[in-house]
Chain A
Amino acid sequence: MTEPKKLKVATCSLAGCFGCHMSLLDIDEKLFELVKVVEFDRSPITDIKHCGPCDIGIVEGGVCNAENVHVLKEFRKNCRVLVATGACAITGGIPAWRNNVDLWDCFQEVYHYGIGLENGQIPNDPELPLPFDKVHPIGEVVRVDHFLPGCPPPADAIWKFLTDLAAGREPKLEYEMLHYD
C-alpha cells in the first residue's frame, strides 16, 4: 500500500514575535501525528531558506519592511493556500502600534536620543531590511485565502485548521476556538 501523499507546508514569521510559531509547537504530542500527514518546507523549524511549491503557507506577522514583501511574495507564488495566522498577520497587530509614530521620530529615538547613546548614527547598510512608513496586514500586499485569528491562535485551533485542510475539508473552527473574552 502506498502512503497518501504528504501535504507540503511552509511557515514564516514576518513582523511577528514567533508566538504563533510557538503555539504551533504547542500541539505537543500531536506533532507526531502532524508529521505523518505533512512535510515542512521553508520554515524556522527546518531552516530551509527558500520555499518550493507547497500546499499550505502559514504566515505569522504583518509586513513592516521590504524584505517581508519578498518573503510574502515568494510564499504567495509557491503556496496553493495562504493562511494569515494570528493578529499581526491579519491586522498588523502589535507592531502596527508604531503606525501612530512618525518614522523619523522612531529612528531618532532609537539611534540618536535613546538612553546611553552617544554619537548615534542611522545605519544604512543594504543588508538591513528597509522599513515601511507603516506596518500593514499581509492581506494588503497579497491575496490571502484564510485568516486564523488569535494572539496567538490556540494550539487546538491550529491543529483543527491544519487537519481540516489536510483532509480536504473547508476549515471550520467552533465559536469557542475563536472566542477570547
Chain B
Amino acid sequence: MPEQDVCDLPGIVARWQHDPANLVQILREVQESCGTIPSDALDRLAQLLGVPRVRIESTASFYAFFHAESHGAYEILFSDNIVDRMAGKEALKQYFCERLWLEPRKLSEDGLVYVDDTADIGLADQAPALLVNGYAIPSLDKARLDLVAELIRARKPLADWPPMLFEIPDNVRKPGPLMGEAFAPGAALKATLARGADATLAELDAANLRGRGGAGFKTATKWASCRKAEGEAHYVVCNADEGEPGTFKDRVLLASHADLVFEGMTVCARAIGARRGFLYLRGEYRNLHEKLKSVLAARREQGLLGRNILGEDGFDFDIEIHLGAGAYICGEESALIESLEGKPGKPRNRPPFPDRRGYRDQPTVVNNVETFACAAKIAEKGGAWFAALGTPQSAGTKLVSVSGDCKRPGVYEYPFGASVRQILIDCGAEDAHAVQVSGPSGTCISFREFDRRIAFEDLATAGAFMVFSRERDMFEVARNFTHFFAHESCGFCTPCRVGTSLLKNTMDKLAAGKGSAYDMHEMKHIMHILRSMAHCGLGHTAANPVVQTMEKFPDAYERRLKRLDFEPAFDLDGALQTARLITGRDDAWAHLANE
C-alpha cells in the first residue's frame, strides 16, 4: 500500500515551480504518489503555494480522478461507454468483483482494491477496457481479468505486471496521408522557415484547413487573428482531451505520430510568435505520458524544440505536457485553459475567444491534435496539395474512430465526402441499423440515412463512429449517453446542471417501465431549455441523443410507455416499506395503492 509519507509535497510543488497555475498537475502527482489527496495535504499545499485553501479545495473537488478517501492500493475503473456495455462490460465487472469478493464503489475490507465505473477511456475499438491506477488495459475478457485479480491478490506492484496487459494496438485499418506516409521530423519546420510566417499562413489559408475537434473553425483565420492580437506572450495549446465517447483517433496519432503533432504545434508557434506550448493530455492517456516526454526530449536533441530552433536566431519554443484528471468538459477550449491555469474546468464567457484572451489572458491558439497534424503536413507539402483532397467545403482527410457492431473496429482515414455506407462496408458492418456519428454530442443516424457523407456540410464529426446493429436497443444507447452528460456537466449553470439530471432520471424512469407520454413531452421541453439557456456546448448538445433517437426510433420509446397520461416516478407503496419496518405498522393507512 502506498504510504502516507511517500507523499513529498514540497518536492512536488517545487517541481512545478511553486506556481498555483500548475495546481492540477500538482494535485495529480499528490494523488498518484499518495493514493489520495487528504484534507491536511490541502492545508499544506495552500501554505506552500501561498493561496487560500478554498482555491486548492475547489480544484481538488472538481476532477473525478481526485479523491480524499482511499481507493486502496489498486483502483480499477471500468470504462462505461455503451460500446463497452455491448461488449459485455457489466457481466465482466460483476465477474471480477465476485472473484475478489467486493462490491463496486466500496473499498475492499483489507483496503486493497476499489472498483468503479468511469466515462469512456478512449479504447472503444478494444472494448471493454479499464484503468488500473490510471493505466489502461484493453480487450477485457475473463482470462485477462483472472490475471488482474491474481496480480492484485499477490499485491504485485503495477510496475511488475506483465507488459502485455497494457499493450494497446493502434488498429489503423485504412491509412491515408496523415497516418500512412512516413514523416521526417523537421521537414515541415524547414519548409516553414524557408517560406516565412506570412507565407505559411497563406498556405494554411489556401489549404482551407478546418478544425478537427468538432466545431470546424477555419484554422488559418484562428492563427492569423491570434498572431495579430496584442499581448505579453502568445501560447500554443494542443487539445488532446479526446473525451467524446467513441473517439480514439488522437490516441493513435499521439501513440505513433507524435512528431507530426508536435511539429504542427511548432509551425504554429512560428506563425503566431509563441515561445511556450502545452499538450493537454487527458488523464486516461496516462500510459502515453512517458513516451510523449521522450519524443519531446528527442526533438530538443535534434534542435526541433528549445532555443534557436533549426539554428534560426530567436526562434525559441518548447512544449510542456499537462495531464487532465477525468473531466470531459476540459475538452471545451476555455475550460481546458482554466484547467491549465490550475482551476476547476468551467467554461469561460466567450467572446473573447482564446485567440485573443487565452492562457493567462494572453493570445492563445487552441487546436485539436489532428488539426496540428494536418497543419504540419500542409507546411511540408503545401496548401494546394491538401485542398485537392476531400470536398470543396471540407478539404483534406478525416480520421474516423470506428467501434461497436463491426468486424474491424479501429481508425480509418478517409478524404472528406466518404459516405456512411462506404465506411460501414469497409469496417464489416453489414447488419448496421444506426450509427452515432461524432459521439453523444453528435448525430444519431438511422439506416435510412446511410448515404449521408462525412463532411462539414453534411455530417460534421470530431471522429467518433459507433455502429449499432439491428439487435441493439437505441433507447439504451440514449440512456447511457444521458448518464454520461449528467455525470460530466460541470455544474456551472443551472439549465445544464439540473437539466442533464432530469433527463437522466426521466430515461431511468422509462427504463423502469414507469414512463408516460407526459415524460416524453417533458424531455422535449428540457431539450429546448438546454439548447437556449445552457452556457456551453456540453449543455447545448446534451439532449441530442434523446431527441434524435425519439424521432428516429420511436418504437424503442413507445413500447416502454405504461400510460398515456402520467405515471409516478417511484413505487409509492414500496417507498413506505422502511417506515413500516421501523414502526411495525401494517394498517390500511400504512399502505398506498400503486394505481
Give B556-579 as 1s and 0s: 1 = Cβ < 8 Å from A's Cβ atoms. Answer: 000000000110111010011111
Q: Is B388 an interface residue (CB 8 A)?
A: no
Q: Is A69 an interface residue (CB 8 A)?
A: yes
Contact A69 B589 (CB under 8 A): no
Residues from chain A with Cβ under 8 Å of B572 in the complex: 69, 141
Indicate which residue in B518, B569, B583 contacts A130 across the interface (CB closer than 8 Å).
B583
Give Cα distance in the complex from A158 to B71, angstroms. Answer: 50
Q: Is B314 an interface residue (CB 8 A)?
A: no
Question: Closest approach, in angstroms, between the C-beta of A58 and any C-beta of chain B?
Answer: 19
Residues from chain B with Cβ under 8 Å of A143 in the complex: 518, 565-566
Question: Closest approach, in angstroms, between the C-beta of A59 and any C-beta of chain B?
Answer: 15
Contact B578 A126 (CB under 8 A): no
Q: Is A104 an interface residue (CB 8 A)?
A: yes
Contact B569 A126 (CB under 8 A): no
With A126-B589, A130-B583, A130-B590 known to touch, is A136 a contact of B578 (CB < 8 Å)? no
Give chain A's interface residue range (CB within 8 Å of chain B). Answer: 20 to 34
Residues from chain A with Cβ under 8 Å of B528 in the complex: none
Q: Is B584 an interface residue (CB 8 A)?
A: yes
Contact B569 A136 (CB under 8 A): yes
With A66-B590, A69-B572, A142-B566 known to touch, is A124 a contact of B584 (CB < 8 Å)? yes
Q: Is A109 an interface residue (CB 8 A)?
A: no
Give A66-83 as 1s and 0s: 1 = Cβ < 8 Å from B's Cβ atoms. Answer: 110100000000000000
Question: Closest approach, in angstroms, between the C-beta of B502 and any C-beta of chain A?
Answer: 10
Give A96-130 as 1s and 0s: 1 = Cβ < 8 Å from B's Cβ atoms. Answer: 00000001100100000000000000111011011
Give chain B's interface residue range (CB within 8 Å of chain A). Answer: 20 to 34
Residues from chain B with Cβ under 8 Å of A39 in the complex: none
Residues from chain B with Cβ under 8 Å of A134 in the complex: 575
Give Cα distance in the complex from A129 to B568, angstroms. Answer: 20
Residues from chain A with Cβ under 8 Å of B577 in the complex: 133
Residues from chain B with Cβ under 8 Å of A133 in the complex: 575-579
Give Cα distance in the complex from A84 to B584, angstroms. Answer: 33
With A136-B569, A140-B570, A142-B566 known to touch, is A124 a contact of B583 (CB < 8 Å)? yes
Contact A122 B575 (CB under 8 A): no
Give Cα distance in the complex from A127 to B590, angstroms. Answer: 10
Give Cα distance in the complex from A122 to B583, angstroms. Answer: 6
Give Cα distance in the complex from A136 to B572, angstroms. Answer: 10
With A103-B579, A126-B587, A132-B579 known to touch, is A140 a contact of B518 (CB < 8 Å)? no
Contact A107 B582 (CB under 8 A): yes
With A124-B584, A126-B587, A136-B569 known to touch, is A103 a contact of B578 (CB < 8 Å)? yes
Residues from chain B with Cβ under 8 Å of A123 in the complex: 583
Give A11-49 as 1s and 0s: 1 = Cβ < 8 Å from B's Cβ atoms. Answer: 000000000000000000000000000000000000000
Instruction: Give the residue name and chain of the B residue nearest to A132 (CB).
Output: B575
Q: Is A131 an interface residue (CB 8 A)?
A: yes
Question: Closest approach, in angstroms, between the C-beta of B79 and any C-beta of chain A?
Answer: 29
Instruction: Give the residue name and chain of the B residue nearest to A102 (CB).
Output: B578
Residues from chain A with Cβ under 8 Å of B580 in the complex: 130
Instruction: Give the residue name and chain of the B residue nearest to A133 (CB).
Output: B578
Residues from chain A with Cβ under 8 Å of B592 in the complex: 66, 69
Question: Closest approach, in angstroms, between the C-beta of A107 and any C-beta of chain B?
Answer: 5
Contact B582 A66 (CB under 8 A): no
20 contacts between A and B (CB under 8 A): A69-B592, A103-B579, A104-B582, A122-B583, A124-B583, A124-B585, A126-B585, A126-B587, A129-B589, A130-B576, A130-B579, A130-B585, A130-B590, A131-B576, A131-B579, A132-B579, A133-B577, A140-B568, A142-B568, A143-B565
> CB within 8 Å of A: which residues of B?
518, 565-566, 568-570, 572, 575-580, 582-585, 587-592
Knowing that A129-B589, A136-B569, A140-B569 are A-B contacts, what are 5 other residue pairs whose CB atoms are under 8 Å apart, sorted by A's residue number?
A122-B583, A124-B585, A132-B579, A143-B518, A143-B565
